[in-house]
Each structure stands twice: as C-alpha cells, then as structure tokens.
Amino acid sequence: MRPLPHTPPENSPPAPSGQQVVSESLIAYPSQFPIKVMGVKVEGLVAAITHIAHQFDPTFDAATIELRESKGGKYLGITVTVTATSREQLDELYRTLSTHPMVKVVL
C-alpha cells in the first residue's frame, strides 16, 4: 500500500533528509472504504475474504461484496467495502489480506 499524500503543518520543522513526514490522514473516520482483493478463483476464497473483513469490521455486510472474474476465468476480483475507523485498522487489514495464502494482490 502506498503512503497517503500529505501536507505538513506550516510551523513544523523540516523532515531529516530521506525521511517521510507522517501527518494526519486525509480520510475522515469513520467512512466506507472499498478494498479490492485478487486471487486465483478457488473454492473458499470469497469465504476467507469475508471472514477477514468481519474481523476488522463487525458491521461488514457480505451482501455488498462485488465479484469480478478475469477474462480467462482463472482469477477472481473481490471488492469489500468496510467501515474504516482508523489508519491503524486499515493498515492491519491490508497486512492480513496481503499475507493470506489465497490472495495475490490487494488494492
């Protein structure tokens, strides 16, 4: 996941050379946040992604999942929209999805 763009406050000291300044998020929390997950189309992929989404958002509604099969039918794109409550929650959700053995890409 690439870092969100930011503008440091006017009175903040400059960042040391080569270091990124971390500032407040551009996302207003809580908000609906779509996440695209891609993996090989296998039995259990959608259930695994649904389970992970529920772990990070207990209010997640599986009826909102969007599925898109690749042209050749080998891969499946899954869009889940979670209620994002913090940057930490989203970072951990991305890490959990990215390290799942059935997942190839998370956007």
Q: Residue ranges per domain, the chain?
A: 31-106
How confident is the model over 71-87, as pLDDT tens digits? Answer: 999 999 999 999 999 99
pLDDT at site 16:
54
Residues whose CB falls within 8 Å of the CB of residue 14, separated by 6 or more in sequence, listed in order: none
Overall fold of domain 31-106: Alpha-Beta Plaits (3.30.70)
DSSP state of 33: E
Distances (CA, A) of 98 to 2, 28, 42, 60, 90: 13, 24, 17, 19, 12
Amino acid at 28: A
pTM of the model: 0.76
How confident is the model over 14-46, as pLDDT tens digits? Answer: 555 555 545 566 889 999 999 999 999 999 999
From the list 18, 41, 28, 10, the residue with the least C-alpha distance to 87 is 28
Q: Which residues of 65-78 are buried (b: 16+ CB within 10 A; e: fewer)?
A: beeeeeeeeebbbb
Question: Which pair of tokens denotes residue 66?
Answer: 């969007």
